[in-house]
Structure 1
Amino acid sequence: MTGNDGRGVVPSAGGGVAQGRGITTVGIVGTGRVGCALARLALDAGLAVVGSGSGPLDRAQAQLDARAPGAVAGTLAEVAAADVVILAIPLGRFRELDPEAFRRSLVVDAMNYWWELDGARPDLDDPTTSTSETVQTHLAGARVVKALNHMSLYELENLAFPPGHPERRGAAIAGDVAEDVQAVATLVDALGFDPVVAGSLADGVRFEPGTEVFGADDDAGEVRAMLDRFWQSQRGRVVGRARGVGEG
């Protein structure tokens, strides 16, 4: 295993890792099933959770009470003030997010683009960039890291395990700032998954929908191998040609 060199599996630090890195609160934008699953994992890790939905606070609180008891509904400003903010809404709605609210936030982009639901979106289907880079451009003052998007709802709800468990799954991470990637890696570890660093935010394309990693629910070693095989895949060749990147 290597450290955060843009290619490695980040070694697990065991229990209390998130708190040890200064992460005590998690904000979640989106109180649907994915958002609530992430909220429950954060609560199980001993973190305080505040979530916001698209409707009134009482509706968001009811959703959290049903699926993540202990999480508290809050305003967008309260969510953005958390140590880490996870975006768990459809990617097609990202421009509804007020950039000013996230100006100093560490943001985990767990969103995905589905053309069947979002419609044709050239800004989200451009092979020369990753969708997380597009989100970063919109949330200009935030520090965006891609993570948790490629994991199935079943995996989030049922396959989180403590460090060293033989069934522990891997979770890819991509970001441009090493310190932020490491902070998100500690959070992913605390949630019950082995963090696997894919590289820069541009490398988030390697675990977007339509890639081998997406929905694979596999261990860290296989996640690493799938990320490395991306450039030989059909999607990888399309992206590589668009970016002028040779196979390798």
Structure 2
Amino acid sequence: MQHRFLLQPRWVAFHVLVLVAVPVCAALGLWQFQRYNEHNDGGKSEKTAVSAEPAVALGQELDGGHTVATKDRGRNVFVEGRYDAARQLVVPGRELDGRDGSYILTPLQPAGEPELRVLVVRGWTAGAPDPAAVPVPAGDVRVTGRLELSETEHGSGIDRIPGLPAGQVSIIHTPELVNVLPYRLYDGYVALTAQDPADASGLVPVPPAKTQKSGGISGRAWQNLGYTAQWFVFAGASVFLWWRVVRREIEERDEAEQARALRELGLEPAS
């Protein structure tokens, strides 16, 4: 049988390697395409969908975890604890009804979690006050609010403000704030809607966050799209390599067989 060599152990191993490589590359390509769809914005700004469900405990909503996921955005939660007034931050460059102002961001230590803090946007105020000038409730409080994702420049459409003084940050980006605050943080934040006892600082509740959609493909989306193409090229290249190696082996064996037949006839094969 002309192609029986393909059943030799080394060739079987080669076939198996290609059979594994092709679906793996295809799966990685599909995964990168999914990531591309997640990062491709489509050109609109959308507000967080605010849940109408009653508030539940923060730990219950996050299933005992510490990360606000996309599915949690807009959900109403409550958390009891104490504010850390000494670590209060101001987030300038936030407009409300056409007025320039700032968000007041205060870490809250949840009861029973001494190593963790949840970031609470207590409200909006005009201008950019000194963090120490905005009063913080003392003692135990019960905060009710809306869960929001950790902000990013691309995802929120918020531009960074260079040269901010100490106590001010441009965006509520948890991975950066862990370098500003001396403790572990919940990833995401709570936008305060109610508090017991009531907050007498006069802050205005902030509107639902918007997800910025830029109208084009982001740099991260382009990167994912490039990886998608790359993995499918690898899958196609694996098939092509298999076909080329097998074809070359067949041709070399045919040439060797022809040369052997000529030698048996007493003829020298052409060089």
TM-score range relative to shorter protein: under 0.3
Greater Cα radius of gyration, structure 1 or 2: 2
Q: TM-score, normalised by structure 2?
A: 0.22
What TM-score, normalized by structure 1, do the two folds share?
Answer: 0.23
Higher strand share: 2
Q: Which has the higher contact order (CA 8 A, sep 6+)?
A: 2
